[in-house]
């Protein structure tokens, strides 16, 4: 005797088709779910490094460059071309008082050589609440950096260049590699050596426990002949969280009258002899260029430098590293022999 189930299948062929389709749909859903799980694992599994937190760059890390700033005519090690050199040598710090230039320092390259520290946090979302982006913000007026990890489409090359620019990233092992486009024209160094608005930047974040190294590489087809590389070291801090609630850079009146355009005509900048006067670095070296980036360039300077060495002052008077309140600072003349450095007690004084 046929069972009720057999009679049901025989009497309702349409039901058999419906059940079959339902089973196929269920299997498809299971496979899709598994694929989504695998995809989510592929997206998130390389992110073995947690970049989130507050990061402080030690005062001893290139303090003379980041704090006191370079001399006006110090472009050694910068791969400037002829146009880049001419622009740098025409620079006057009074330019920063022009309303349209008040905020020009705060572009994405400013992360590399500024005095400010940074805070990093993830931006999550999507169906699996995975990391969509990493957000960086320093303790000042910078527009911030959002590193998109989700394949975000860049804006048109004809769109307005914002101070935040546009950055995408991907993981390579435990290193985060970010690529920035849409940058504003801004100083590549705080003495007037500019990069153009056609520049791009590659930033590599290399974490190691509570230390972080970021290597920045600037590519500029307008003012440079080779990539310009800069690196920063950071320590993670818990007891000194970085505040990021500063307002954006605000354009205001800084004392330059309307219609005034501060600059130096070619050959008229009175500060282009500083490196020679203070450190006996000749102008052909201090004006920069790709050849000044490499150790072999020292051989070109060696004979002249040794010849002039007897005339050097035997005590540092400019661009010296000293200590103030226990922190390394720059551009402080060394104390007389036997005197204690500023901010540090004399050995054996008990103070």
Position with higher pLDDT, 348 vs 70: 70
Q: What is the Cα–Cα distance from 342 to 331, expressed in whole angstroms?
A: 12
The confidence score (pLDDT) of residue 32 equals 47
Indicate whether 232 belongs to any domain.
Answer: yes
- The per-residue b/e assignment along 11-43, b for 16 or more CB within 10 angstroms, e otherwise, is eeeeeeeeeeeeeeeeeeeeeeeeeeeeeeeeb
Q: Which residue has the higher pLDDT, 264 or 340?
A: 264
> Do 214 and 164 reside in the same domain of the chain?
yes
Confidence of residue 23 (pLDDT cuts 50, 70, 90): low
Based on the domain organization, do 216 and 319 belong to the same domain?
no
Closest by CA position to 57, among listed 211, 178, 243, 202: 211
Domain-located, residue 5? no
336 and 211: one domain?
no
* Shared-domain flag, residues 229 and 345: no
Is 6 inside any structural domain? no
User: Are residues 51 and 38 located together in one domain of the fold?
Assistant: no
Instruction: Give the least confident one: 42-46, 283-287, 325-329.
Output: 42-46
Higher pLDDT among residues 82 and 21, named by residue:
82
Residue entry with tokens 């004392």: 255
Q: Look at 101 and 52; give whichever has higher pLDDT.
A: 52
- Looking from the CA of 230 toward its CB, the CA atoms found within 13 Å total 21
How much is the CA Rg of the chain, to the nearest whole Å?
A: 29
CATH number at residue 272: 2.40.128.20
**Same domain as 233, residue 116:** yes
Angle between helices 13-44 and 4-11 (to 10 degrees): 90
198 and 242 inside one domain: yes
What is the mean predicted confidence (pLDDT) over 250-261? 78
Report d(CA 141, CA 105) in Å as an integer: 9
Q: pLDDT tier at 336 (50, 70, 90 boundaries)?
A: low
Asked if residue 185 is part of any domain, the answer here is: yes
Per-residue pLDDT at 234 exceeds 60:
yes
For the ranges 111-125, 202-216, 301-315, which has the lowest average pLDDT? Answer: 301-315
Cα dihedral: 87, 88, 93, 98 (round 10)? 30
Same-domain check for residues 17 and 154: no
What confidence category does residue 350 fall into, taking pLDDT thresholds of 50, 70 and 90?
very low
Give, in order, the Cα–Cα distances in Å from 46 to each of 43, 131, 209: 7, 11, 16
In this prediction, residue 43 carries a pLDDT of 42
Whether 280 is in a domain gets the answer yes
Looking at the fold, whether 179 and 204 belong to one and the same domain comes out as yes
* Residue 3 maps to a domain: no
Q: Is residue 8 part of a domain?
A: no
Q: Using 50, 70 and 90 to split pLDDT, how confident is the model at 236?
A: very high
Assigned token pair, 175:
């290193």
Same domain (yes/no): 23, 106: no
123 and 203 share one domain:
yes
For 127-185, the pLDDT digits (tens) are 888 899 999 988 767 778 999 999 889 898 888 888 889 999 999 999 999 999 999 99
pLDDT at residue 38, rounded to an integer: 39
Position 195 confidence tier, pLDDT thresholds 50, 70, 90: very high
Structural domains in the chain (count): 3
Do 291 and 302 belong to one domain? yes
- Domain boundaries, position 28: 13-44
**Secondary structure (DSSP) of 35-77:** HHHHHHHHHHTT--S---EEEE--TTSSHIIIII---TT--TT
């Amino acid at each position: 005797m046929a069972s009720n189930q057999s009679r049901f299948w025989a009497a309702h062929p349409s039901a058999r088709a419906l059940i079959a389709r339902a089973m196929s749909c269920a299997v498809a859903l299971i496979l899709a779910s598994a694929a989504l799980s695998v995809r989510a694992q592929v997206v998130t599994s390389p992110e073995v490094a947690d970049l989130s937190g507050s990061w402080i760059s030690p005062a001893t890390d290139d303090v003379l460059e980041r704090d006191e700033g370079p001399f006006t005519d110090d472009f050694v090690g910068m791969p400037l071309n002829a146009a880049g050199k001419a622009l740098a040598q025409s620079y006057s710090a009074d330019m920063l008082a022009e309303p349209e230039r008040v905020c020009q320092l705060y572009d994405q390259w400013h992360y590399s050589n500024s005095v400010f520290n940074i805070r990093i946090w993830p931006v999550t979302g999507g169906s699996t609440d995975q990391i969509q982006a990493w957000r960086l913000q320093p303790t000042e007026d910078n527009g911030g950096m959002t590193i998109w990890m989700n394949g975000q489409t860049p804006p048109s090359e004809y769109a307005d260049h914002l101070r935040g620019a546009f950055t995408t990233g991907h993981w390579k092992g435990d290193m985060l590699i970010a690529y920035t486009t849409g940058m504003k024209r801004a100083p590549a160094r705080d003495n007037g050596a500019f990069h153009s608005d056609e520049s791009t930047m590659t930033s590599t974040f290399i974490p190691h426990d509570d230390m972080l190294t970021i290597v920045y590489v600037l590519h500029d087809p307008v003012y440079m002949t080779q990539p310009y590389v800069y690196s920063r070291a950071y320590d993670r801090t818990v007891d000194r969280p970085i505040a990021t609630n500063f307002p954006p850079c605000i354009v205001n009146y800084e004392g330059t009258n309307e219609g005034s355009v501060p600059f130096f005509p070619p050959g008229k900048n009175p500060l282009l002899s500083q490196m020679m006067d203070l450190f006996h670095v000749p102008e052909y070296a201090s004006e920069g260029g790709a050849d000044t980036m490499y150790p072999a360039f020292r051989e070109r300077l060696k004979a002249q430098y040794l010849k002039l060495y007897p005339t050097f002052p035997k005590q540092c008077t400019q661009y010296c590293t000293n200590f103030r309140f226990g922190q390394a600072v720059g551009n402080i003349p060394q104390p007389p022999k036997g005197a204690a450095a500023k901010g540090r007690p004399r050995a054996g004084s008990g103070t």
